[in-house]
């Protein structure tokens, strides 16, 4: 028998760092996952642990490097963290780091932002991944749990129909989704945080500006908008599950419901995904 695939690591390593510039504080909070692949087969097949880097060691490494290196840009930290594992352990061939972030925003007092008091409204969750080997490093940033809704200018019609079809066509429906998106950096930007904000702004501006004949067309247009806005990225992946808003039938109560009152539901839901890639230069 052959062991065809293996990797292992530490998940849910949580760190919160207070970044201080004079009296102005910034809070950086990450949930970190580390996965290692390499010459660990004997630990599976023979119970030989001599090359196994303990997952507790991985946790300690995350903590120490966060203390030394974590600043405002998550991407620079995960690149340093992945490189550390490759440099430290010659039998490690591939490192995968994934992070999600809780965003803290400043509270205000007397109309002025506080230097030391914060709120976590969490409009969405920033995420970051690095896949590093001795031959290549791929850096991905993104966002998940971004809930957006279009209450007009959305329809779904002219779709394939057969004996299993019961969904009526419509030119007036609510489009709501909990979007997740990732983008791959081809070159490093001057500022990862600002570039990530620009990418999200481009996609959301596209969502607002264009009518939607389908989720598929909307996500394609949003991906194009991100690629056009930011030349540093090579591709954009979007996942947009439907958050269905189902019209409530008020006829039993003698009322007409003209697309006004709905019950929101997320199960079962449509699940649409696409990756839009920049055309290679000739």
244 is catalytic: yes
Catalytic residue among 28, 59, 182, 244: 244
Active site residue 84: no
Question: By C-alpha distance, which of 265, 275, 210, 276 is closest to 241?
Answer: 265
Residues 6+ apart with CB under 8 A from 13: 31, 32, 33, 34, 58, 59, 62, 63
Annotated active-site residue 12? The verdict is no
Catalytic residue among 17, 25, 55, 137: 55
**CB 83 within 8 Å of CB 69:** no
H/E stretch holding 137 reads strand 137-150
Task: Count Cβ atoms within 10 A of the Cβ of residue 52 and give its class: 0-12 exposed, 13-18 middle, 19 or more buried.
Answer: middle
Judge whether 68 and 80 are in contact, CB under 8 Å: no
> Catalytic one among 10, 28, 59, 182?
10
Q: Which residues are catalytic?
A: 10, 55, 244
């Amino acid at each position: 028998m052959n062991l065809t695939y293996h990797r292992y690591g530490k998940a849910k390593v949580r760190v919160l760092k207070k970044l201080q510039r004079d009296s102005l504080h910034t809070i950086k909070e990450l949930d970190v996952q580390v996965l290692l692949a390499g010459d660990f087969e004997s630990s599976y097949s023979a119970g030989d642990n001599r090359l196994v880097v303990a997952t507790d060691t991985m946790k300690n490494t995350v903590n120490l490097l966060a203390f030394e290196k974590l600043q405002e840009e998550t991407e620079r930290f995960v690149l340093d963290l992945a490189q550390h594992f490759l440099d430290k352990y010659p039998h490690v061939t591939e490192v995968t780091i994934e992070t999600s972030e809780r965003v803290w925003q400043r509270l205000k007092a007397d109309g002025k932002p506080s230097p030391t008091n914060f709120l976590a409204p969490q409009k969405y969750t920033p995420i970051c991944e690095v896949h590093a080997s001795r031959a290549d490093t791929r850096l991905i940033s993104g966002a998940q749990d971004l809930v957006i809704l279009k209450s007009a200018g959305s329809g779904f019609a002219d779709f394939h129909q057969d004996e299993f079809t019961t969904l009526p066509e419509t030119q007036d429906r609510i489009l709501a989704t909990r979007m997740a998106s990732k983008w791959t950096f081809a070159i490093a930007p001057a500022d990862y945080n600002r570039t990530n904000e620009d990418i999200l702004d481009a996609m959301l501006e596209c969502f607002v500006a264009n009518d939607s004949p389908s989720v598929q067309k909307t996500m394609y247009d949003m991906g194009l908008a991100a690629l056009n806005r930011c030349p540093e990225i090579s591709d954009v992946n979007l996942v947009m599950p439907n958050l269905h808003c189902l019209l409530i039938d008020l006829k039993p109560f003698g009322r007409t419901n003209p697309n006004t009152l709905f019950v929101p539901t997320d199960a079962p839901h449509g699940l649409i995904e696409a990756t839009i890639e920049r055309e290679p230069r000739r």
